[in-house]
Amino acid sequence: MRFIGDVPEHDLTYSDVFLVPSRSGVGSRMGVDLSPDDGTGATLPIVAANMNSVTGPRMAAALARRGALAVLTQDHALDDTIASIDWVKAQPIGLASPHVAGPDETVQLVLERVPAIAGHAVVVEDADGGFLGAIPAERLGHALADATVGDLLHSRLPELAPADAVDGRTMFAALEREGVEVAPVVEGGRCVGVASRLGALRDDLYRPALDGQGRLSVAVAVGINGDPGAKAAALVAAGADVIVVDTAHGHQEGMLRALEAVRSQVGDAVPVAAGNIVSSDGARDLVAAGASILKVGVGPGAMCTTRMMTAVGRPQFSAVMDTATTAIELGARVWADGGVRYPRDVALALAAGASSVMIGSWFAGTIEAPGRLQRDGQGRLFKESWGMASTKAVLGRNAGLDAYELARKTLFAEGISSSTILLDPQRPSVEDLVDMITSGVRSSFTYAGADSVPAFRERARVGVQSAAGYEEGKALPVSW
């Protein structure tokens, strides 16, 4: 990456900068390979953040199916996290994970998980996992709230066989033949996944992130306290594909000790990410202690109050640029963590040198995020989000402490405890957001004449703009 003018003397964030097109030999946006060069095996440069409101097993499976990663949080008990890894590893690759409901569940309850939007389905199973039928999600929108989903099975979706879903084109043709957008795939009396027309197109467009056994990949976070080495070893044994050692102040000696412990336990079996840091000194120390990926960003996160509470942090574009330069010299890579609100921010993070970009709050408002779907005063669907250093998260994480210690911990909260993230009715699924992000970023690459993440990092030309320049780039929803 280079600046088109003088290198600015002050630090910059995403809205301060823009990309200038340059001569390109990349003739099609489909000729771009978005795989990050971070050793994770992902094929998209997107990682869902280890936040309780963002990543659970369903988010992890949905993203890995398209080639991105998600990081399960450090806040759950080891057994629960291992159960989540097992769930991800058992999920289908070319089909969506079913939204399962019991026949006696009410429509109202199911609507907390699945919105009444076309392109999705509810699969009804008995207590033993036997398939009873499936209904299109939009059917929930005109059923009584206290009706049971079992009652709705009289107008059920047709079923497909595994042979109908061997590849995207076959699946699309089968759905067209049946005249539906979405259908369950059933084998031996059990639903093995859900086929959809959009899913069929995506199966041909994306390459899944898979482990050595051909199962979906998943990353898992550990904190720096307790016994992070033993925890990481147990998680890797359970199938975790990347370990993320995560704490607010990543450039502290507790982190260096934790990283050394993790590396001594897991060896080179998996990439180890660590953070958060924002300086090249931090990058050097964490790589020396065993990190192969650095998680970069202090304060840009949407749920984060660190900058206002402490003045600590650094504008994110410069933080990524500085740490990535050092990391790459040392053979490590950077994930740009936080502050991403538009596809342009992902492109700019990659231009600054990141291999992948971590997204939290934006993904909290999707079907796959763990929270309950709720409606606000205007009837809009939303999910709740909160910061991992908020009072809410601190209380949850430290529930075992005595009341005095707990009260003391909450004095140091550095995050928002409750925020509402709207579900975009046009893009309710994280896969819809991935489509939007990757189409923007593929286009950024061709404007720069780059067909890969390393080539884009090399070729990107960046200018600095005023607030008016940034404003000019926005679309106008109404006339002036």
Ligand X SMILES: Nc1nc2c(ncn2[C@@H]2O[C@H](COP(=O)(O)O)[C@@H](O)[C@H]2O)c(=O)[nH]1
Residues of this chain that interact with K ion (CB under 5 A) are 304
C-alpha–C-alpha distance, residues 152 and 136, integer Å: 10
Beta bridge partners of 134: 123
Q: Classify burial at 470, counting beta carbons within 10 Å of its beta carbon; exposed 0-12, middle 13-18, buried 19 or more.
A: middle
- Residue 345 to residues 17, 228, 354, Cα–Cα distance (Å): 10, 32, 11
By CB under 6 A, which span of 61-69, 175-183, 223-231, 316-324 interacts with ligand NDP? 223-231
- Residue 116 to residues 74, 142, 381, 432, Cα–Cα distance (Å): 32, 9, 11, 16
Does 361 contact ligand X by CB under 6 A?
A: yes
**Percent helix, strand, coil in the chain (nearest 5)?**
40, 20, 45
Per-residue binding letters, 265-294, with ligand NDP (x by CB under 6 A): -----------x------------------
Among 1, 46, 51, 157, binds ligand X (CB under 6 A): 51
By CB under 6 A, which span of 146-154, 194-202, 242-250, 286-294 interacts with ligand NDP? 242-250
Q: Residue 391 in contact with residue 417, Cβ under 8 Å?
A: yes
Among K ion, ligand X, ligand NDP, none, residue 391 binds (CB under 5-8 Å by kind): none
Among 116, 389, 441, 453, binds ligand NDP (CB under 6 A): 389
Among 298, 334, 347, 430, binds ligand NDP (CB under 6 A): 298
Q: Which is nearer to K ion, 248 or 261 (CB)?
A: 248
Among 29, 190, 207, 249, binds ligand NDP (CB under 6 A): 249
Strand 461-464 versus strand 2-3 pairing type: parallel
Q: Which is nearer to ligand X, 40 or 97 (CB)?
A: 40
**What sign does the CA torsion over 247, 253, 254, 259 have?**
positive
Residues in contact with 208: Cβ distance below 8 Å, sequence separation at least 6, in sequence order: 43, 64, 65, 66, 67, 93, 216
Among 108, 225, 264, 439, binds ligand NDP (CB under 6 A): 225
Task: Please work out the total of residues on this chain that contact ligand X, with binding judged by CB under 6 A.
Answer: 24
Does 390 contact ligand X by CB under 6 A?
A: yes
Q: Residue 54 in contact with residue 203, Cβ under 8 Å?
A: no
Strand ranges, E, within 197-287: 219-222, 242-246, 272-277
Q: Classify burial at 253, counting beta carbons within 10 Å of its beta carbon; exposed 0-12, middle 13-18, buried 19 or more.
A: exposed
C-alpha–C-alpha distance, residues 93 and 85, integer Å: 15
Min dist CB 315 to ligand X, Å, is: 14
Instruction: Tell me if residue 191 is catalytic.
Output: no
Contacting ligand NDP within 11-70 (CB under 6 A) = 50
Among 16, 38, 241, 246, binds ligand NDP (CB under 6 A): 246
Contacting ligand X within 153-182 (CB under 6 A) = none
Among 52, 53, 81, 247, binds ligand NDP (CB under 6 A): 247
- Which one-letter amino acid corresponds to residue 29? R
Per-residue binding letters, 322-361, with ligand NDP (x by CB under 6 A): ----------------x-----------------------
By CB under 6 A, which span of 10-18, 203-211, 297-305, 437-445 interacts with ligand NDP? 297-305
By CB under 6 A, which span of 149-157, 298-306, 420-428, 429-437 interacts with ligand NDP? 298-306
C-alpha–C-alpha distance, residues 117 and 99, integer Å: 13
Does 301 contact ligand NDP by CB under 6 A?
A: yes
Does 433 contact ligand X by CB under 6 A?
A: no
Which one is catalytic: 46, 157, 174, 304? Answer: 304
DSSP state of 33: B
Among ligand NDP, ligand X, K ion, none, residue 303 binds (CB under 5-8 Å by kind): ligand X
The pair of three-digit structure tokens given for residue 135, joined into one six-digit string? 């209904």
Does 299 contact ligand NDP by CB under 6 A?
A: yes
Strand ranges, E, within 126-251: 131-136, 182-187, 190-196, 219-222, 242-246
Does 316 contact ligand X by CB under 6 A?
A: no
Among ligand X, ligand NDP, K ion, none, residue 223 binds (CB under 5-8 Å by kind): ligand NDP
- Which one-letter amino acid corresponds to residue 426? Q
Of the candidates 81, 186, 88, the residue with the CA atom closest to the CA atom of residue 134: 186
- Residue 331 to residues 105, 272, 363, 452, Cα–Cα distance (Å): 52, 13, 30, 18
Does 358 contact ligand X by CB under 6 A?
A: yes
Among K ion, ligand X, ligand NDP, none, residue 254 binds (CB under 5-8 Å by kind): ligand NDP
Distance of CA 111 to the CA centre of its chain: 23
Which positions lie near ligand NDP, rule CB under 6 A?
A: 50, 223-225, 246-249, 252, 254, 276, 297-299, 301, 304, 306, 338, 388-389, 412, 414
Which positions lie near ligand X, rule CB under 6 A?
A: 49, 51, 276, 297, 301-304, 306, 337-340, 358-362, 387-390, 414-415
Catalytic machinery residues: 304
User: Which residue ranges make up the annotated binding site for NADP(+)?
Assistant: 246-248, 297-299
